[in-house]
Amino acid sequence: MRSKPSAAYQGRTIGVPEVSTRADIHRTHTTEHKLSDLWARLEAIRTEANPKARPLKLTSGRRRALGARLKEHTAEELLTVWRWWQTSQHDRAVWLRSKCTVDTILRPSNFPGYLDLASASPTTKTATDAEQVWSLLIDAMGRVGSRRLPTPADIPALDADTITRAIAALGGPGRWSALCQTHSRDLQYRVRPQFVKTWEVSCG
């Protein structure tokens, strides 16, 4: 015959792990879906700027970092930084594209600074210096490739008319594809001097 639990025992509270409610589960699923959707939009910006780039996976670490930044900033601010990182000709953005990964962009100590740079009012002045235009064209060659001519969307620092004149200084639209396949040393020492000379004459 079982004895009754003592009064002291009956008064004890037994700790039982809380079970997630349906609302908690729904909230978690909604957050995961939001992060996956945002990542897809960020990747679309990156692959549009560099179609040859390999897809980046949304790893657990990146998911956590993205979620943390989304708690501090809006989705539009994240997209703004991504677009600046992938398309801006700002020295910092160009350096980040060549040296750093997405994990650097999402780092909490870095992101606010990148957002400030990305949100700064862009200059309306079109680049006209021969060496600067040359550098912008070379950067575009690496991103656009030989499949088409660059546009202002590819080189925000140049307007359509300036791009047309720059292509002409390279030898015309027909040379773009060939130059995209030219070794960087030949571009630097054989093509660049002629481009600079032609550009300066056209601007004079």
pLDDT tens profile 110-122: 999 999 988 884 5
d(CA 37, CA 78): 13
Angle at 129 between CA 127 and CA 130, to 5 degrees: 120
164/26: higher pLDDT? 164
Residue 15 confidence (pLDDT): 52
Residue 21 confidence (pLDDT): 60
pLDDT tens profile 17-52: 555 565 444 455 557 788 999 999 999 888 888 878
pTM value? 0.50
Look at residue 11 and tell me whether its pLDDT is greater than 70.
no
By mean pLDDT, which of 8-12, 63-67, 189-193 is the weakest?
8-12
Whole-Å CA distances, 178 to 27, 101, 202:
53, 30, 23
Query: pLDDT-based confidence at 123, cuts 50/70/90?
Result: very low
Look at residue 191 and tell me whether its pLDDT is greater than 70.
yes
If DSSP codes are grouped into helix, strand and coil, which group holds residue 61? helix
What residues does each domain of the chain span?
28-119, 130-203
pLDDT tens profile 55-112: 899 999 999 999 999 999 999 899 889 988 988 878 888 889 888 899 999 999 999 9
Q: Mean pLDDT for the chain?
A: 81
Distance between alpha carbon 202 and the CA centroid of its chain, in Å? 34
Whole-Å CA distances, 51 to 45, 82, 132:
10, 15, 24
